[in-house]
Structure 1
Amino acid sequence: MSDERRADDQRVTVRQAVEEDDAALLAIERVAWDASSGFPSYSETLQDTFFTRSGPEAHLVAEYDGKVVGYLRLQDKYPFPEGAGVLAINGIAVAPEARRLGVGNALMTATTAEARSRGARKITLHVHGVNTPARQLYERHGYVVEGIHPAEFLIEGTPVDALDMAKTL
């Protein structure tokens, strides 16, 4: 991302991640997910570094009043030329204490701008069907459901649908 982007209230800033964000992002990763938004077993796989799966270049970071409070992982969806221009949101998390402060909104707005700056034509994501707050956030930003995978996951004994959502730019 070439520049910082601020939310309307000027308290949320979104920027490209840097290596120095590792500890703050790992702390968010450890507390941000629950059975409605992620996989409880995932927390057992966390390492001592956030950037194990992908480096800072794949992440936008949200700060609220200068404190790191969230991230969004944005990556090419496909490794082959026919899929060029399709990006995937492979994770978005906001620290529990920063929810309902416009952080998710700021991340989604910055993601659209970032995708356009990369020449993307589409952004996709996956979300649990029971994650109503996330679904509403995505819908406010123009994402639509493109597919539903009924009972795709069994989380804490409950079948959970997986939804594919996307936005055409």
Structure 2
Amino acid sequence: MSASAIPVPPVVRRAVAGDGPALGELDRATWSTLHAVQPRPQPPYAPFFDEHHPPREILVAEMPGAAGEREPAGYIRFVPPTPLPCNTHVRQIQGLAVAHWARGRGVGRALIRAACVAARGEGANRMTLRVLGHNAPARALYESEGFTVEGVLPGEFFLNGRYVDDVMMGRPLAP
């Protein structure tokens, strides 16, 4: 195998304010009713980061792109699910996107693992998420990373002319 055929793993880091435009573009490029319940974003686009979605909540995965330069291949947003003091031990994934060109290269898995490590570093001992019932690829990835179904809201969303379940998943964050 030649050196150029060796897969390059993603580098995961905390987002910075300057990542906003690239992450906004990535978010729009990956929008789909497979995972989104909000309508497709339309111009003028809102900034990716704002006072409710700061860079500190986001991890970015970078990989060499078409020109060989490192570029954002994906991101994950994980936050405390509520502001309640009794809930500070939990973090919730509230966004995961992988660029089309980077799919199948371990980006989503690397982001989930890095988010779990970072959440443990913040004192969390549990990670949760919500995923649409028809999003089989995402559900399979989460299950392979130790998440289990903890609840289902049947027919919670009406997307593309059909009712879609909202699936709650979670896992412990053991050291």
Same fold (TM over 0.5): yes
Check 1:25–1:41 CA distance in 2 against 1; reply closer, same or farther (3 A cut). Answer: same
Shift in Å at residue 10 of structure 1?
4.2
**Can you give the 5+ residue segments of structure 2 that lack an aligned partner in the other structure?**
1-6, 65-69
Which residue of structure 2 aligns with residue 55 of structure 1? 54
**After the TM superposition, which residues 26-37 of structure 1 pair with which residues of structure 2 at under 5 Å, given as runs?**
26-37=24-35
3-state DSSP class of the match of 1:104?
Answer: helix
Task: State the alpha-carbon separation in 2 of the partners of residues 16 and 102 from structure 1.
Answer: 18
Seen in structure 2, the aligned counterparts of structure 1 residues 14 and 40 have a Cα distance that, compared at 3 Å, is same
Q: How far apart are 1:43 and its partner, in Å? A: 1.9
- TM-aligned CA deviation for residue 150 of structure 1: 0.5
Structure 1 length-normalised TM: 0.90
Alignment deviations for residues 92-126 of structure 1 (CA, whole Å, 9 cap, x no partner): 01111211111001101101111111110111100
- 1:115 and 2:114 aligned: no
Answer with 1 or 2: which has the greater Rg: 2
Moved more, 143-152 or 47-56: 47-56
Unaligned 5+ residue runs, structure 1? 1-8
Where does residue 4 of structure 2 map in the other structure? none
Q: Percent identity?
A: 39
Q: 2:15 aligns with which of 14, 17, 26?
A: 17
Is the 8 Å Cα contact of residues 33 and 39 (structure 1) preserved in structure 2? no
TM-score scaled by length of structure 2: 0.87
SS in structure 2 at match of 1:50: coil
Q: Quote the RMSD (CA, aligned, Å).
A: 1.5
In the alignment, the residues of structure 1 paired with residue 38 and residue 56 of structure 2 have an alpha-carbon distance, to the nearest angstrom, of 26
**What's the CA shift string for 1:65-108, capped at 9, x where partnerless?**
21111110111112011111111101001111211111001101
Residue correspondence of structure 1 range 86-125 to structure 2 within 5 A: 86-125=90-129
Note if contact 1:34-1:40 (Cα within 8 Å) is conserved in structure 2. no
Task: Give the deviation of 1:45 after TM superposition.
Answer: 8.3
Deviation (angstroms), 1:42:
4.5
Please state if 1:168 is matched with 2:172.
Answer: yes
